[in-house]
Amino acid sequence: MKRFAVSLALALAAGTAFAHNCPNEMRAIDAAMPKAKLDADKMAEVKKLRAEGEQLHKAGKHDESMATLGKAKTILGIK
């Protein structure tokens, strides 16, 4: 039973650590936008996705936030 409790605690901690990566992703997007050579439509899409990602993060929907921010990073050509 102890092993199960420890495993559960570690799994929850890992999920929490992943959830806190959203701000790092947003910072990476913010840093890449001024240097990006995108047309106006693509830049508008990046800004929209970045804003949506932040809203999802604030709502506690971290998986959705990471997916949305990932789309923005893909458009920007960053990893």
Report whether pLDDT(29) > 60: yes
Which pTM was predicted? Answer: 0.74
Q: How does DSSP classify residue 34? A: G
- d(Cα 7, Cα 34) in Å, to the nearest integer? 43
As a whole number of angstroms, the distance between CA 6 and CA 14 comes to 12
- The answer on pLDDT for 4 being more than 70 is no
Question: What residues contact residue 53 under an 8 Å CB cut-off, 6+ apart?
Answer: 22, 25, 26, 29, 65, 66, 68, 69, 72
Q: How much is the average pLDDT of 63-76?
A: 96
The two tokens of residue 12 are 């929850």
What does the pLDDT read at residue 20? 65
